Amino acid sequence: MTMPNYLPDLGPITAPQLPEHISFWENCAKRELRFQCCSECERWRHPPAPVCPHCGSAGATWKLAPPRAELFSYTVVHHAPTPALRGYVPYNIAIVAFTDLIDIRIVSNVLNILPQDLCIGMPLQLVWQDQGPGRVVPLFVREGAAA
């Protein structure tokens, strides 16, 4: 099933990326949401970084995100920050937490929901949106809702 993009493609990422960021997006391209886990203190971290912010170790493995997520916080954008987004307001920007993983928050969007139906703590389900070559983005829907 092809899902229309939630927001328009604003073009390629032109800023330099850390190797850890490239690894994160390579995992997303495989539709695997993985976060770094420190090889020394075993704490998870996101966004990707070359060293652990807790113990300073450079060792890390990429572990699969837990299946249960929830809406930690959100905002609804009513005024488009760029002309390309004028036709998309209002849209939400969500901070998603994982029930079994207290160190991780990810910025994303909740699809197919009216702003007034968003509720902090609501269970969410991960979905993937293909936004062009090499860009597969982790997004969320209300648990049990079809993407």
User: Which positions lie near Zn ion, rule CB under 5 A?
Assistant: 38, 40-41, 52, 54-55, 57
Q: Which is nearer to Zn ion, 44 or 74 (CB)?
A: 44
CA distance 130 to 134: 8
Name the 3-class secondary structure at 16.
Answer: coil
- Would you say 123 and 141 are in contact if contact means Cβ atoms under 8 Å apart? no
CA 93 centroid distance within chain = 10
Residue type, 9: D
Query: Shortest Cβ distance from residue 39 to Zn ion (Å)?
Result: 8
Q: How many CB atoms lie within 10 A of CB 14?
A: 6
- Provide the minimum distance between the beta carbon of 91 and Zn ion in the complex, in angstroms, as a whole number: 35
Find the shortest distance in angstroms from Cβ 57 to Zn ion: 5
Minimum distance, C-beta of residue 29 to Zn ion, in the bound complex (Å): 27
Cα(133)–Cα(129) distance, integer angstroms? 12
3 vs 51, beta carbon nearer Zn ion: 51
109 with 138: CB under 8 angstroms? no
Return the number of the residue (52 or 139) whose C-beta is nearest Zn ion.
Answer: 52
Q: Which is nearer to Zn ion, 54 or 68 (CB)?
A: 54
